[in-house]
Structure 1
């Protein structure tokens, strides 16, 4: 099974949209050239693409999970205006090749870079990014690593059911300890800018359960016949923490933007 097998519907419904404050950073990184072409790797259900609709003219979203792309298609196609082109491509980021002559002003990789063969992806992007284009790698923090009481309680329930080690689909999570900014500096996109954007969300119990089932560490298939038991255990644990069923999620997006240094010409496609 893949990392996100069975999670697509949960991902579309329960993952929070990309905040406008993050969209503003991405919009600025794309520059002013027209047409504005956007390449989103690990596009999932299209949350980044949806956030940038109206700001780009030509969009390619790439994902290795066909179910995720089906959710993206349902959400995005009806929202397109007549002048915006959208292609959704079922492929691994490490194997995707843009159409001849097509180069992106902005590449986005949201909540996905840690899953990729990073050096391979960045090397392939050299031919697929316009000379003045940018690569933006960004994510908010996982509840797995947060000390917030309700997130720690949720994590404990997951560990009760699946073991102490964080799962990653059918395997276990392996921490990537090299900062993404350093990885970009070792690539052709070595002119690096870092931006941190705080975000506050409010969740309830059912949205927390839905979010958990959108993740690789609590995907529904991991629980087998104990899925309902898990969901009820989360409900009971959270009920002990809040009478109003309201849980504040103080989080932040860390955005790393890489460009070619000014003296380095871009390759042609």
Structure 2
């Protein structure tokens, strides 16, 4: 992912700009001395973090008028369209009914992220919803699935090729042209420092 970020970001930088990409957990990240972020984004990963600890650490790492943005959209697991439901059913047929996550099964967070943020230094929270239209192909669907914890490649063991074939075969029921439209929505929670 760092290599992908490098190749996407480097050409976009103005002359003389610098770019540093660091591999670290959010809990262990230490910024360069004297540097503070204007914006920190956490997308589809907040549920993996020690949420209160990370928000507390960010209080030291984010500029006084900076923003923490926590956002995500609906995963394929919650479906929302017939072709996504079919893909989820194929995943279940290979890995079981329960949604995988890491070494166990997925446990949905029991509190809204906005509520967690309101208990942090970034306690002025604004929610913004952004509709998203995407167009997928069988290959991009598989790429997405492999980036998730519920369908990571290692979970399939020696059945990975069989899984790929099953997904592609099932998708032919929904498109002869290998085009799969998706209507989704990002929920963005913007946290700023406010009342203490």
Bucket of the pairwise TM-score, normalised by the shorter protein: over 0.9
TM-score of the aligned structures, taking structure 1 as reference length: 0.69
Match of 1:134 in 2: 67
- Count of residues in correspondence between the two structures: 196
Deviation at 1:94, TM superposition (A): 0.6
Matching of residue 213 in structure 1 with residue 161 in structure 2: no
Aligned equivalents of 1:104 and 1:75: distance in 2?
20
Aligned equivalents of 2:139 and 2:182: distance in 1?
14
Deviation at 1:129, TM superposition (A): 1.1
Matching of residue 166 in structure 1 with residue 110 in structure 2: no
Aligned equivalents of 1:136 and 1:83: distance in 2?
27
Secondary structure of 1:201 counterpart? strand
Aligned equivalents of 2:185 and 2:145: distance in 1?
18
Matching of residue 229 in structure 1 with residue 158 in structure 2: no
Matching of residue 185 in structure 1 with residue 118 in structure 2: yes
Secondary structure of 2:175 counterpart? coil
* 4+ long deviations beyond 3 Å: none
Matching of residue 240 in structure 1 with residue 182 in structure 2: no
Match of 2:79 in 1: 146
C-alpha contact (below 8 Å) 1:195/1:256 kept by paired residues? yes
Aligned equivalents of 1:151 and 1:141: distance in 2?
11
Secondary structure of 2:97 counterpart? coil
Encode CA deviations 1:81-118: one digit per residue, 9 max, x unaligned: 32322111121101112222211111111121111110
Q: Specify every segment of 5 or more residues in structure 1 that has no aligned partner in the other structure, as ranges.
A: 1-67, 265-269
C-alpha contact (below 8 Å) 2:124/2:191 kept by paired residues? yes
Matching of residue 102 in structure 1 with residue 35 in structure 2: yes
Deviates more, 1:154-163 or 1:215-224: 215-224
The counterpart of 1:118, out of the listed 28, 51, 64, is 51
TM-score of the aligned structures, taking structure 2 as reference length: 0.93
Encode CA deviations 1:11-58: one digit per residue, 9 max, x unaligned: xxxxxxxxxxxxxxxxxxxxxxxxxxxxxxxxxxxxxxxxxxxxxxxx
Higher relative contact order (CA 8 A, sep 6+): 2
Secondary structure of 1:88 counterpart? coil
The counterpart of 2:187, out of the listed 225, 239, 254, is 254
Aligned equivalents of 1:252 and 1:75: distance in 2?
23
Deviation at 1:229, TM superposition (A): 0.5
Q: Specify every segment of 5 or more residues in structure 2 that has no aligned partner in the other structure, as ranges.
A: none
Aligned equivalents of 1:114 and 1:82: distance in 2?
37
Encode CA deviations 1:129-152: one digit per residue, 9 max, x unaligned: 111111111112101012311111
C-alpha contact (below 8 Å) 1:170/1:222 kept by paired residues? no
Deviation at 1:74, TM superposition (A): 3.7
